[in-house]
Structure 1
Amino acid sequence: MYKLRATKPLWDVATKSFSTSNANNTKVTVLGASGGIGQPLSLLLKTNPLIQELAMYDILYSPGVAADLNHVATPCKVKGYGPGQIRDALDGADIVLCAAGVPRKAGQTREDQFNVNSRIVKDLAVSCSMMNPNAIYGIVSNPINSTVPLFSEMFKKAGVLDENKILGITTLGPVRVSSFISQEKGWDPSKIFCPVIGGHSGVTIVPVLSACTPAPDLSMDKLKLITLRVREAGVEIVEAKQGSGTVTLSIAWSAAKFADSILRALKGEKGVIECAYVKSNVASTRYFSNPVELGPKGIHKNLGMPKLNDYEKSLLEECLPILTQHIKQGEAFAAAKI
């Protein structure tokens, strides 16, 4: 059985474990870097001591955003790239984070969002597969249940697919559970870890609260409320913003945390575990989110599914047919001549 780790404060392990003078030669590229997620994500990455160079690519404003970030007093150098410059942005990148696309707005369905973002992700995947097929790719663009299969299929078409190097970033699920449990118990959320399996939207999200460390010792009714809140967290934020915005900052923080875990694994740290949505045979679906151990080449080991109680098994049964539909949607769009 793998040992799950609590959510560390950003850069906590990195700053203690590695010298920034010699070991720091990593380039990270953010696609969609000028958007609502891309900008705060890039700011967080700028402060990571394990990143030497940050490349920001977007169709608008990225040179200006990069100029702004270069005023932040950290060693990481930032450069912005616009239309026609994606090859330079990708060149030499060790990690590429795809945050491109439009957010899901109030009143929009998941399908509405996919209809827009699928074209964006497909075009970017084609470029990435030709220009830097060897990087580790973290997909943030929603809906992740479909965009990750789409992205992977484009690499497969190009004959360069490495299933261990394309990961859907589902870190937000465990981060939310940690936050919500901490609110109930008064605990430090950085000391809590709970795996979240399945997919990354609605009923495909399966928090495995029975595997939380430490055990929260909450009533079943309370655990069910936390599960529902995690599944509907996006709606909660849209309503709190009164329709003027959507989830951005918590996604950016979670993606930066995931990137830091990959960076630490690239530098040789062992036992780095995150939940990620990846191609596997863990469940009956072709893609599934669960804890994986990261290594220098992406996924070092898929740690499989934690033990589920009866309630969690019922959630998984609800998840799988819908997740299968979402996966097929992404694969079908990859196959279409659009």
Structure 2
Amino acid sequence: MQHKTRNVAIIGTGLVGSSCAYSMVNQGICDDLLLIDINRERALGEAMDLSHCIDFTNVRTKVRAGSYEECGDRDIIIITAGAPPKPGQTRLDTLGVSAKIMQDVVSNVMKSGFNGIFLIASNPVDIITYMVWKISGLPRNQVIGTGTSLDSSRLKAILSDILDVDPRSIHGYSLGEHGDSQFVAWSHVTVGGKPFLQILEEHKDRFGEINLDEITDKVRKAGWEIYNRKGTTYYGIGNALAFIARSIFNDDHKVIAVSAVLDGEYGVKDICTGVPAIITREGIKEIVELNLTPVEKEKFQQSNKVLKEYMQTIGF
């Protein structure tokens, strides 16, 4: 990949894609932002609107609508196109429609000569990320899904309210599927470097009523709580995409819970699931293998089993 530029394309300019683009422009994350959508007029409208922000930002970002043929020089391609869940559906229920969309999207992108990093938010993100990896033929480090990055952020926000501590001082991850089978690795949650479970043990008078299962359930259902009130979620995931893209361009070596293709890590192969990984200019430098407890290992295996069952429905 060329490292002199910061060229990005966003495929899908619905609420998630446009929120991501807005974050990218406001934060000055890239130099050139290409917007692609099946509805070209929508992409053009978003590009025009975003270009009118530049006078009020610190960095000039060129924003324009374009086509797949222009993807060859992109460093990162962000995919948000897909089928949103209907009332009563889970993210996994959208797989059939999203898989058909992704087949077309990735095939067209690869025809342009693209050899950068795919960053995927389309649901069900773990399976779609695996599919993008297979179709593209790119090395696994260059295909990243948002995974449980947003879920982990939601976990920190919930704990922040409980503990009255800045969420950025809380570290921990929700792992596995970005969906109903995800779980919180409580054995690795820390607050200011101190294990959260130790804090609960030492301060039973203050936190004795805390139920870890209830918190995990709140994390799982946070997206649906928003969905039931406003129809969908987009600010959180849009900013998560921008955050990961910035970490790539800055070669930050940040550890982020993303959807990564496993090849023996955690004793698992041929699956894409939410795990902490070191993010660099080359994509995923290394997957961080946490020393999970026996109970956590069982939950991880169960979550991967759910993903495997759905993967088989589209031939993987």
Relative distance call for 1:330 and 1:199 in structure 2 (3 A) is farther
In the aligned structure 2, how far is the partner of 1:51 from the partner of 1:117? 27
In the aligned structure 1, how far is the partner of 2:38 from the partner of 2:74? 19
In the aligned structure 2, how far is the partner of 1:330 from the partner of 1:168? 18
Relative distance call for 1:92 and 1:107 in structure 2 (3 A) is same
- SS at 2:15 equivalent: coil
Matched to 1:309, the amino acid is T
In the aligned structure 2, how far is the partner of 1:166 from the partner of 1:111? 20
Relative distance call for 1:295 and 1:220 in structure 2 (3 A) is farther
In the aligned structure 1, how far is the partner of 2:112 from the partner of 2:135? 13
Residue of structure 2 equivalent to 1:282: 265
Matched to 1:195, the amino acid is Y
Matched to 1:54, the amino acid is L
Does residue 256 of structure 1 match 2:233? no
TM-score, normalization: structure 2? 0.85
Higher helix share: 2
In the aligned structure 2, how far is the partner of 1:249 from the partner of 1:49? 17
Residues 66 and 80 of structure 1 are in contact (CA less than 8 Å); yes or no, is this contact kept in structure 2? yes
In the aligned structure 2, how far is the partner of 1:331 from the partner of 1:261? 33
Percent identical: 25
Match of 1:299 among 271, 281, 284: 284
Does residue 29 of structure 1 match 2:12? no
Matched to 2:11, the amino acid is L
In the aligned structure 1, how far is the partner of 2:276 from the partner of 2:314? 22
Residue of structure 1 equivalent to 2:203: none
In the aligned structure 2, how far is the partner of 1:47 from the partner of 1:273? 23
The 5 A counterparts of 1:65-76 are: 65-72=46-53, 73=55, 74=57, 75-76=60-61
TM-score, normalization: structure 1? 0.80
Matched to 2:23, the amino acid is L
Residues 176 and 275 of structure 2 are in contact (CA less than 8 Å); yes or no, is this contact kept in structure 1? yes
Residues 146 and 328 of structure 1 are in contact (CA less than 8 Å); yes or no, is this contact kept in structure 2? no
- SS at 1:137 equivalent: strand
In the aligned structure 1, how far is the partner of 2:17 from the partner of 2:256? 21
Does residue 308 of structure 1 match 2:286? no
In the aligned structure 1, how far is the partner of 2:294 from the partner of 2:65? 50
The aligned length equals 292
Matched to 2:310, the amino acid is H
Residues 150 and 331 of structure 1 are in contact (CA less than 8 Å); yes or no, is this contact kept in structure 2? no
Q: CA RMSD in A?
A: 2.1
The 5 A counterparts of 1:157-236 are: 161-170=138-147, 171-203=149-181, 205-214=182-191, 215-216=195-196, 217-218=199-200, 222-236=211-225
Relative distance call for 1:318 and 1:53 in structure 2 (3 A) is same
In the aligned structure 1, how far is the partner of 2:315 from the partner of 2:237? 24
- SS at 2:190 equivalent: coil
Cα deviation digits, residues 277-323 of structure 1 (max 9, x gap): 1111223352232111122221112222x122344234224323112
Cα deviation digits, residues 10-48 of structure 1 (max 9, x gap): xxxxxxxxxxxxx9831111110x201011110001122
In the aligned structure 1, how far is the partner of 2:186 from the partner of 2:113? 38
Residue of structure 1 equivalent to 2:23: 44
Residue of structure 1 equivalent to 2:72: 91
Q: Which runs of 5+ in 1 are unaligned?
A: 1-22, 333-338
In the aligned structure 1, how far is the partner of 2:173 from the partner of 2:108? 33
- SS at 2:122 equivalent: coil
Residue of structure 2 equivalent to 1:136: 117
The 5 A counterparts of 1:99-118 are: 99-118=80-99
Residues 29 and 56 of structure 1 are in contact (CA less than 8 Å); yes or no, is this contact kept in structure 2? yes
In the aligned structure 1, how far is the partner of 2:218 from the partner of 2:113? 38
